[in-house]
Structure 1
Amino acid sequence: MISYGKQEIEALALIEPVNTNKIRIDADTYIRRAHELRSQYFTEKLSNLYQTTVGKFLRNREIQLAKSALYSMSERELKDIGITRNEIDRAVEGRKEMEASQKKGFWTTLATRFMEAQTSRAAYVHLMSMNSRELADIGLTRSEIEAAVKGHRNYRANDNLERPSNTNDHRKAG
């Protein structure tokens, strides 16, 4: 049995205020109440732990039973329900596509960005080393290289998207 000190009893007394008309405080009553509250707390925590553990166990058991039932089916039966044999685990566990659900870590993201920057830099250097005729062959001018490498090249200034107004279509040769 754990005994309570003066500080714990005073804290408990703040939870249940004492009638000030009494001269004597019945410490045994408060100690008994503290034991009850502690027992309720630990009972609740252990119950939650048990429910969580048993719940996970039952969930895993259901998943294994469903997987074994699906693995025992023929290819034709699996096709009828719309899955293939290699999709069984994902379908039963409710996982989305593996590539979409896995998050990239910090170092993977950093390495990916570094490689993209290196590739962009190499493309920029290569395009800048070309002469004007070679750039014109691929549809670029020297001022458009940076936008093309960054992927911001939607339309260029010299793209004639509109029909010119001075076509003189109304005149006919005579």
Structure 2
Amino acid sequence: MISFTNKDIEALALLNPVSANNNMIDVDTLIAKAHRQRSEHLRIMISAVSEKLSAAIWTRRENSKAASILRGMSNRELRDIGITRAEIDQVIYGKQVSNGGLLKKVSGVVASLASRYAQWRDHRNGFAQLMAMDARQLSDIGLTRGDVAAAVSGKVPLANDNTAKRNDGRQVS
């Protein structure tokens, strides 16, 4: 542990005097600094976007050249290098060209929506059936009226799950 005497503390205070008047803030300097930082940030953002754009243009130009060279080849030449005319876009652009790709996507979305609608309808019907029960019927299955929404969504297990055991540990039939 280091201890300082009053003489040491006074010597340190003389080396770096503390200003008691900290209320003076140079707003103009702070604003100028903020403008410089904003300008630098914008310059970095714009240069990054322009680099990405130029790289994308260069890649597209090179891919277009390669595609036009391959399309200019005969079927025999394409077969010699191991591709067919239908595979040119896949080889150059790396994307699968297939008929019905859009149809598959749309049918997948429609199937997903139909599944979600069926699930919502089942939840709604289950909620309506449970809310139609009186308090005694709900208590028979281990629910209160406040538990109905959670039970329908599957967040609360039902208390009456028919797994009661006798005193000797065997399952009740």
In which range does the TM-score fall when normalised by the shorter chain? 0.3 to 0.5
TM-score when normalising by structure 2: 0.46
By relative contact order (CA 8 Å, sep 6+), the higher-ranking structure is 1
